[in-house]
Structure 1
Amino acid sequence: MSSNFSWKSLGKLYLYFFYFSGLSQILIYAAGMSNTVGIRQALFISTIWLVPNLIWPQYTRKMSAFIGLLIWPASLVSLSYFYIYGQDFSQSVLFIIFESNVSESKEFIESYLDYKIILLAITHALTGIYLWRQITPVYLPRLNKLITICIVSLIFGGGFLKPLIVYGKSWDYSIKSFQDKIEPAAPWNMIAGYFKYTKVLDAMNEQLAESTQIPPLSNLVYSNNKQTMVLVIGESTNSQRMSLYGYSRHTTPLLDNMQHELLTYTDVISPRPSTIEALQQVLTFADQKNPDVYLTKPTLINMMRQAGYKSLWITNQQTQTKRNTLLLTFSQQADEQVYLNNNRVQNSSQLDDGVLEPFKKALSNSDGPTFIVIHLLGTHRKYNYRYPESFKQYTGRAGMPEWVPDEHAEEYNDYDNAILFNDYVVSSLINILKDTSTNSSLVYFSDHGEEVFDTKGDLFCGRNEGKPTPAMYTVPFIAWLSPEWKKTHSTSSIQNTLNHPYQTSDFIYSWADLAGIDFKGNDPTRSIFNKHFIARKRMIGSPFTPKKMINFVSISHKQELTLN
């Protein structure tokens, strides 16, 4: 074998590495979803794999095979995500991945895995193997080898050190800047995303550990009523698929029957289409303009404890105590927790009616102001896992839109059956509270919506922030207030806002209003329960890329362009 330098050999080696990092970026650019930044970063970052092969050319085939095996899975994930969603990986997607448990991941794979994905994986692997078989060692003279290594080191070292040395930025800024540069290319998208995730998680854990040192809300005043307040958080439930909101199928018969007792808000959306990113705003003072405020200001749970409420968090979401997630951090801010689904593997048959008995027990043991959060699995995909066989009511095409093809009919029906069971759970919680506690209130909403073939001409199931539809954001939002609560509060102003556009990122102000809590910085105009409520433009999209955010009205038929 010749030991002379060959540009052809260098080109084949580089193409092999660029294939894994750059293919998805080329497809994204070709689809018009992005500019050339991703391709440029992939071209830039692919050079790092050349270094060991240039230093030890005699091991080129073994090293390139090993590196290929390492980066192929991340490359396949990026490629598969583009195939399913038509989008590039983002920080939001990575956060969702790292927050997901084994069962959620299994259900996601089951939902999207088909012969096309399998064929894509096989083709992707075979192409990589073909490119690998073309590789031959690249021999450089010793001096050129040293020069090449120095150049590559300067490229990567400069990318990290330039902000630090030239612009005097901090280490954190330099690290983040470098992560942003390498993030588009696999597998660095996974690696950089993981470090960003752990940084946010560490900040949340630090907040939890030092919660007593976080300044409480200033000038907080509250009523001394002995009341029980219940917050029920659903999952992936689109209000458009509930008969309570006018859906043709009778998917919420129990809530329909008690409609005269409920305050049903008709135009409510979530700020983000994923659980943790939505709840980071819903349960805190963060919003689309100030997404990081949850790290520095008290949460809704902190506020209730400051007001003298004993707090309890009941969850049917899998929350292993050894698996620290952002959602777990929220729950641990409560005085007590009940984790119903804390096995190593989430039980798919762990239905939401499991929250009913702990809820009854909590109410019977309550003494004084009590605040209870109940977090449901709701209608989370895979939908047929979310209801028992006895609730399998929808099996045919009756009431199904004509544009839903037969191949998706079963999943469409499963979602409606999941909503039917969710109706049973939520109505049962209301009835238990009604029978047990006198001065009480309950609010139920979903963290976000879900697209389940609801959009004609754009068949899709799931959520995609980069390609939003109304179904991904529209959520049920209902309140039940006990007769005793109504005796001491006026409900006329509340009823006047039932049809106003509202976004749950303002929920902490609404909850404080309902609880009779006031504090410095409170804004009654952001409370849907207040007569001074002012409807605002509802921006959706990632607040970390504000230029890409859009007004919800641009994807809906509602007119709110004149709002502030």
Structure 2
Amino acid sequence: MDGFSRKEGRVGSVAFLTILALAMLPTVSRTALGLLHGLPLWLTVLALINRRRAVAILLFPLVLCLPAVLYYQHAYRMAPGLSLWLILLDSSGSEVVEYLAGFALPLVIWITVATLTFITVVRRIDGPIFRHRTMRFACAASFLVPSIGMVGLGGSKGSLAESANRYFHNSFPWSVLAGRAQARRELALFAGAEREAAASSTVVAQKIDNTGGPRTVVLVIGESARRDRHGIFGYTTPTTRIVEGIDGVAAFSDAVTLHPYTVDAVPVIVARHDRLAPSAVRTPNLVSLFAAAGFRTSWISNQAAMGADDSLVSVYAKYADDRWFSRAVSRSGATSLDEDLLPRFRSELAATSDDKFIVMHLYGSHENFEKRYPASFAIFPDAYDNSIAYTDFILGQILIELQALPGRNGLLYVADHGLKLGECDGRSEHYDIKQAFEVPLYMWTSVSWREAYPQKWLHALSNRDAPVTTLYAFDTLVDMGGLTYPQYQAGMSLFSERPDASARKVHTFAGAVDYDHGANDAFCHLVPTPAVP
């Protein structure tokens, strides 16, 4: 009898460890860091319950979901979490069923076999997990480790939901729990942004010049591009040879963005909306404004339609006649090269409409620089320089298409923000170093545009060294399209004789700083320059 009991105990132990291993398999198969972040919570749960059978029953639903979880991780290259919730909450029931249908048969077989096996062995799983009280208490207290880690990740952006999501995003099943909380927060932010965008979509605009044939106006938004790494602005590495060789380009050497993050920087460009310093005067968004003037509008993006990095940007795209995003959710799946946008751009140019306004949102020079360009563009020793040169190629392809079109056409290129490129600690990342606020901004106009508006073009050339911000992109594009609207400000256009001068307040991690009276501190943060007595 004792031998039988020992055999039963061994079977129960093997069954328990197998269930535990299967529940943890998605995390183990992802990254070592995900396992490191999630392990303390596993230990806490095991210590608090401390009964093998109870833990096995608790974990069995995770085992049943294992094929679906592994499939998701393979497809999206991340653990199910925020992205999963955003997809589910933005999908209909039929879409979810359609998604599951792709692996329904293997899932049913797995659930059947796993359930029958579990029923057979669950009675044999018994006993405590920890027999020593000291070990149990130590494991129960291990939740303090991720708590400290989440505080460290909070930084200036610091909500608990966001910190937890960032910390556990590769640690299943904690990624699902943290992702649910962050998804609720994201959807609330998205709803607020939608209200803002809806308010900015009501606009009275008119085309004040109907001569000269059809017009095509293109806004290209770059990503993470620093001005000081562009040859057109004096960088010694020739990263912008293509654009420099095109006639009709004017480059502006003193443009700064107001934010070091895409989610806040792009609304400034497309709607003159500064979320952290809202204006009392409501301005329409560019998509709605051009649509109100009779332009066909389109938004072509190599970024995501929804998620922590994108929701507050993509709300403006919903007002376009046509829109396309390379990914559904932030940080999910493999990223595409920016050249994948070009066929869609050419398709938009071929659309049957006289006037067109096209927004192209690139992935440009986002971190993991070596992944932002094909192998044929590995021409410089520095991967970041290669990414800038690849963006130069993309812009060149766009301009070739625009040059072949009839009519008074124009393009404005501006990056959302720059990056810290190894300064202070050797790391390249989104940061509030002064150089991250210094962005490339240049425009191109067709020969017929320059012939029709010679004085405006001369003004643009004379403004190339003017101190401006990304706020000036808005009315510059309005001028480029030959439009006007009630809130139009001539002094906020680069085509004006004298652009309005005002303090350039940018948003650092610590708050607003006057860019022109700020400098980097010892930790590479932009801070106010001490006043001279």
Q: Is TM > 0.5 for Structure 1 vs Structure 2? A: yes
Distance 1:281 1:344 in 2: 20
Shift in CA distance, 539/94, structure 1 to aligned 2, threshold 3 Å: farther
2:288 — aligned with what? 302
2:450 — aligned with what? 486
1:90 — aligned with what? 157
Contact 2:151 2:163 in 1 (8 A): no
Spell out, residue by residue over 1:28-85, the C-alpha distance to the aligned partner (whole angstroms, 9 max, x if none). Answer: xxxxxxxxxxxxxxxxxxxxxxxxxxxxxxx99989966864x743531432x48xxx
2:519 — aligned with what? 555
1:385 — aligned with what? 371
SS at match of 1:223: coil
Distance 1:237 1:440 in 2: 25
Distance 1:229 1:93 in 2: 42
Distance 1:428 1:346 in 2: 28
Q: Does residue 1:285 correspond to 2:358, yes or no?
A: no
Match of 1:76 among 127, 149, 165: 149
Shift in CA distance, 333/74, structure 1 to aligned 2, threshold 3 Å: farther
Distance 1:308 1:430 in 2: 23
Match of 1:252 among 236, 240, 244: 240
What displacement does 1:501 show? 0.8
Match of 1:518 among 470, 478, 484: 484
Q: Does residue 1:462 correspond to 2:429, yes or no?
A: yes
What displacement does 1:471 show? 2.1
1:137 — aligned with what? none
Shift in CA distance, 298/504, structure 1 to aligned 2, threshold 3 Å: same
Range with bigger deviation, 241-250 or 525-534: 525-534
What displacement does 1:279 show? 1.1
Equivalent residues in 2 for 1:305-344, closer than 5 Å: 305-319=291-305, 325-342=311-328
Spell out, residue by residue over 1:130-157, the C-alpha distance to the aligned partner (whole angstroms, 9 max, x if none). Answer: xxxxxxxxxxxxxxxxxxxxxxxxxxxx
Contact 1:316 1:375 in 2 (8 A): yes
Match of 1:537 among 500, 503, 514: 503
1:273 — aligned with what? 260
What displacement does 1:306 show? 1.3
Distance 2:329 2:182 in 1: 27
Contact 1:443 1:479 in 2 (8 A): yes
Contact 2:225 2:364 in 1 (8 A): yes
Contact 2:305 2:330 in 1 (8 A): no
Match of 2:407 among 435, 438, 459: 438
SS at match of 1:216: coil
What displacement does 1:329 show? 1.6
SS at match of 2:250: strand
1:528 — aligned with what? 494
Contact 1:228 1:370 in 2 (8 A): yes
Contact 2:310 2:330 in 1 (8 A): no
Give the AA of the match of 1:462: E
Distance 2:241 2:392 in 1: 7
2:346 — aligned with what? 360
SS at match of 1:541: strand
Spell out, residue by residue over 1:429-478, the C-alpha distance to the aligned partner (whole angstroms, 9 max, x if none). Answer: 1111112343211111111112212x4x56442122xxx32321111111
Q: Does residue 1:447 correspond to 2:435, yes or no?
A: no
What displacement does 1:204 show? 2.3
Contact 1:378 1:422 in 2 (8 A): yes
Distance 1:220 1:436 in 2: 23
Give the AA of the match of 1:538: R
1:142 — aligned with what? none
What displacement does 1:363 show? 0.7
Shift in CA distance, 522/345, structure 1 to aligned 2, threshold 3 Å: closer
What displacement does 1:351 show? 0.8
Shift in CA distance, 193/230, structure 1 to aligned 2, threshold 3 Å: same
Equivalent residues in 2 for 1:59-138, closer than 5 Å: 69=143, 72-79=145-152, 81=153, 88-90=155-157
Spell out, residue by residue over 1:367-418, the C-alpha distance to the aligned partner (whole angstroms, 9 max, x if none). Answer: 21110011111011110100111111123xxxxxxxxxxxxxxxxx111111
Contact 1:95 1:197 in 2 (8 A): no
Contact 1:269 1:504 in 2 (8 A): yes
Contact 2:260 2:417 in 1 (8 A): yes
SS at match of 1:378: coil
What displacement does 1:328 show? 2.5
Distance 1:461 1:552 in 2: 24
What displacement does 1:289 show? 7.2
**RMSD of equivalent CA atoms:** 4.2
Identity over aligned residues, as a percent?
20
SS at match of 2:385: helix
What displacement does 1:326 show? 2.2
Shift in CA distance, 507/261, structure 1 to aligned 2, threshold 3 Å: closer
Shift in CA distance, 373/93, structure 1 to aligned 2, threshold 3 Å: farther
What displacement does 1:553 show? 3.8
Structure 2: gaps spanning 5 or more residues: 1-132, 172-177, 521-525
What displacement does 1:97 show? 10
SS at match of 2:315: helix
SS at match of 1:472: helix
1:423 — aligned with what? 392
SS at match of 1:319: strand
Contact 2:459 2:495 in 1 (8 A): yes
Contact 2:303 2:363 in 1 (8 A): yes
Shift in CA distance, 74/363, structure 1 to aligned 2, threshold 3 Å: farther
Distance 2:274 2:194 in 1: 20
SS at match of 1:353: helix
What displacement does 1:286 show? 2.0
Equivalent residues in 2 for 1:206-285, closer than 5 Å: 206=195, 211=198, 216-217=202-203, 222-225=208-211, 226-258=214-246, 260-285=247-272
What displacement does 1:248 show? 1.1
State the number of aligned residues.
385
Distance 1:391 1:534 in 2: 40
2:83 — aligned with what? none
Shift in CA distance, 550/512, structure 1 to aligned 2, threshold 3 Å: same
1:471 — aligned with what? 435
2:189 — aligned with what? 200
Equivalent residues in 2 for 1:139-150, closer than 5 Å: none
